Structures are given as structure tokens and as C-alpha cells.
Amino acid sequence: MSELISGKAISAKINDKLKIEVEQLKLKGIEPSLAVILVGEDPASEVYVRNKKRTCEEIGIRSIGHDLPASTPQKDLEEFSNYCKSHYQLNSLSSVAYVMIREWIVHLSSSGLKNQSINRKCSSLKSYFNFLQKLGEIDQNPMQFHRQLKASPKLVVPLTESEFRMVIEMYDNSHFEGARDALILELLYTTGMRRAELLSLTLDAIDRNNQQLKVVGKRNKTRIIPLLAKVISQIDIYLSYRNLIDQAKPSDWLLINGKGKALKPADIYKCVTKYLSKVSTKEKISPHVLRHTFATHLLNRGADINSIKEILGHKSLSSTQIYAKVQLPKMKKDYLTAHPRA
């Protein structure tokens, strides 16, 4: 005979029992802890980790979280660990001194690795040492005062306005996937948001009355982005299809697939490359290209760089100024064409 059980009730009983056990351990001088490393900005993972942290707080367990960028490869840490084992007979990175790191950097450089790649590896290493410091495994980050090697910035070439107009002409709102793809492209191009921010959008993030969108960015920082009337119209078209799926499989996520499940990063990448590859022969085509395109087109039309900084969610103006550098070839051309002495 089947029995209906309440998962919430069972969970509450387990948590109450754990609270008592945690208190008993603390009386003995033992502090139970949970350490979590979150790599990248996957919305589902962020929700999962956030729920675990909240549960830890309720029970009394110490929660230690550390976020690493999506570009942090496990391979970088393993390579450095193997280098330390072979050169210094170190089995633990908690004993690493900065002089060892400097010698490793020299080793990488002499092997022909570019400064940009070395800087990425060093960034991964620094983040890992920050995590060890949080855990109390080390007193000080050996890379605390490390300065990056000089490297030429890798600039992403944006689409031209005419190229994106060609993308718009390919929109097909006659079916669910077509309307969804059009919305993905419109949101990326008209708001400049990151792929992870797009994936984390929920239905209640849309404010039609004020024509704006609430976006949760890096480190869970919230910002408000204005929405164009054309984008709101595209949202309505998409939702007319989405609502039919939502009736069968309800979901809070704005962007879903035909089965009612939230889209994944690969889905956004596939959508963008599908359309952009038809209008551009640029070597690098990705969702981030539309973020660059957004900023570049606003700068070209005289928008204030500080306003662009706020919309993009940049912490410092120097990050936004990278987009201004893309315009240097165009500025030189205009200068040589328009100046009276040219």
C-alpha cells in the first residue's frame, strides 16, 4: 500500500536533529564546515549553492563559499601541482612560496607560452590560494602582490549595424523556437547582458509598466536595464507560445525549451552562432560578441560611456573603456578623412 509523505516535513525533522548534533560538536571544540567552490555562472548551480548555504546557516554549520571564473580550468591547477612535485617535492600547495611561482612563470614563458595564457593560469592559481586562505589552510596568499605580465588585449570584433539588421530579417515568429531565438538575440543586443545573466532571467524580472528588466549579475548584484518597446513586443510574442508549454510544465525561467526545461549555456551559444554565422565571416562568433556590439553601437551614436558602464554592470570604467578601444581604427579613418590638414 502506497503512502503519501511530505518531503518538507521529513527535511525539517532531519535538520532539527542535525542542529543538536552540531551544537554537541561545537561544545567539544569542533566546528562543522561546508566548503563550496563554484566555477562559472551557471544559474542552476548558483541556486543549488545558495540553498545549501541557507541550510547551513539554519543548522549552525559554517559555510565557506568561493567563486571562480568560468575560465578556470582544473588543468591549470594540476599542471602547477605537478610542477611543484617534480621540482620541489611538494605534495601540498599550502606550502608554496612565491619564489616557486615565479620560477614556474619563467618555465612557462621559456616554453613559448604567451603572456595572456600565463596570466590566465596565474589568475586561476591566485583564486585557488584565496580559497585556501578562507579555509585557514594558509595565512597569506603567496600571490597577493603578484603583478600580471604585459599582454596585448584580445579585442572582440563587433557586428556592424547593417550586419545585425540582416539578423533581424531572419527572425521567424511563426513558431515557438523561432520566437524564442529572436528574443534571445534581441535581449543580448539591446541590453548587452552576459549569457549567464540571460539564462538566469525569470518571468517576474520583466517590468512592463516601467519598460525595464531586473538582471542579476556577477556576485548576485542586481541592476535595472531599460527595455525598448520592440523588445517588449517580442517578449509578448514569445510568451504567447511559452504559455502553452507552461500550462503542462510550469517553470519560473523566462527562457525554456519545448519540454519546459530551462535553457543551458550551450543552447544560447548554438542560437547565436546559427544566426551570426550567416551574416558575418568574423573568426570569433559567440554571445559575447553581441555584448561588444551593444556597447560599440551605443558609443558610435554618442552615448555616455558611464551610462554604458552601468547598463553592462561593469565594476570599473576601465572595463568599459575596452570597448572604446575597438573604435580606434574607425577614429583614425575619420581623422584622416575629415581633418583639414589631412
Query: In the annotation, is 323 catalytic?
Result: yes
If you search the block for the grid coordinates 568599459, which residue do you land on? 320
- Active-site residue (options: 146, 242, 297, 314): 314
Q: Which residues, 6+ apart, have CB-to-CB distance to 1 below 8 Å?
A: none
Q: CB–CB of 180/200 below 8 Å?
A: no
- Active-site residue (options: 128, 189, 241, 323): 323
Query: In the annotation, is 219 catalytic?
Result: no
Query: In the annotation, is 291 catalytic?
Result: yes
- Active-site residue (options: 218, 223, 264, 282): 218
Q: CB–CB of 96/142 below 8 Å?
A: yes
Helix axes 305-312, 287-300, angle to 10 degrees: 160
SS3 322: helix
- Reading the block at residue 263, the C-alpha cell is 535553457
- Active-site residue (options: 180, 291, 292, 309): 291
Closest residue by Cα to residue 263 from 50, 42, 94, 14: 42
Burial code (b: 16+ CB inside 10 Å, e: under 16) for 62-98 equals: ebebbbbeeebeeebbebbbebbeeeeebeebeebee
CB atoms within 10 A of CB 241: 18
Which helix (H) or strand (E) covers residue 65, if one does? strand 62-68
- Active-site residue (options: 120, 194, 292, 297): 194
CA gap 172, 182 in Å, rounded: 7
Residue 171 CA, chain-centre distance (Å), reads: 26
Query: In the annotation, is 275 catalytic?
Result: no
State the number of CA atoms in the 13 A half-sphere of 40 facing the CB. 14
CA gap 254, 269 in Å, rounded: 17
CB atoms within 10 A of CB 158: 23
156 DSSP 8-state letter: P
**Residues tagged active-site:** 194, 218, 288, 291, 314, 323
